[in-house]
Amino acid sequence: MAEWHKLNKKSLPPINGPRFLLLRGYREKGGGVLCVAHRDEYGIRYVGGEGGWKYLPDEEYRSSVWQTVELPWEGGVIK
């Protein structure tokens, strides 16, 4: 299983890399909100309900973590 990474300069996902899982507010009592996200040259975008893709506000970086999506297949064949 993939591990969770904090959103800081040392461990940001690559720009224009593959989509990843973003857990917003992981320290909150309810456990946070899990989203699909993508990093571009302007920041981290996540799927935010009916409004489509939204940029993660700067104040939420410290309360969010991310991890890569592990696909259950390799080269078109299910593992």
* CB count in 10 Å sphere of residue 20: 20
Using alpha carbons, select from 19, 22, 47, 52 the residue that is nearest to residue 34: 22
Instruction: Give the type of residue at 72.
Output: P
37: burial class by Cβ within 10 Å (0-12, 13-18, 19+)? buried
pLDDT tens for the chain, residues 1 to 79: 578 999 998 999 999 999 999 999 998 888 889 999 999 999 999 998 777 899 999 999 999 999 998 767 666 666 5
Using alpha carbons, select from 69, 25, 66 the residue that is nearest to residue 45: 66
1: burial class by Cβ within 10 Å (0-12, 13-18, 19+)? exposed
- For the chain, which residues make up each domain, given as ranges? 1-36+64-79
